[in-house]
Amino acid sequence: MEDSANKGNPIALATFQHHYITNQPQVDPLFDYFTAHLNKLWEYYHPVAANVAVSTLVDFASACYLEIMTEGMKVSPAAAHYPDYIRGKSGIPDFYTYGLWPVDQFPDIRVYVQAVPAISRFTSEFGLTSGLLGLTSNQILLMISLAFIKKS
């Protein structure tokens, strides 16, 4: 994934998780904006879905940072699953999957939870997240934040 917005300052991605967990200001103001809306997930989604979404988005920041730090690295033939691993982390399929079921419309997670693995795998394998959209991490974070503003 191209993430040119953070290539000049990858420390914003490197410190995102720590700053989020310890409630410190983010290095990049966009991430402050994003975390303010990230904390609202529990208002709109089942607690399990919100927990998974936050975990997924934290992994997303790590994957973006890892992609920047390993840009140009040749993938060893012995590490055939490495690209899939990065794609899974940076594509945030679980976030999109759980986002299909707002808690006000689907209060019982048992109605849809068994479909989550198949939908998540589909979105990941077919590149229906960041890869297909061709967006940078900042653009994806901004889109997610704007979606929450509209719900507020």
Q: How many domains does the chain have?
A: 1
SS3 77: helix
What pTM was estimated for this model as a whole? 0.72
The pLDDT of residue 4 is above 50? no
CATH of the domain at 128: 1.10.600.10
Position 90 scores a pLDDT of 74
CB 13 within 8 A of CB 64: yes
Position 134 scores a pLDDT of 52
Q: Which of 2-11, 50-59, 80-89, 90-99 has the lowest mean pLDDT?
A: 2-11
- CA 65 to CA 7: how far, in whole Å? 9
Q: How far is CA 132 from the centre of its chain?
A: 15
What residues make up the domain containing 87? 4-151
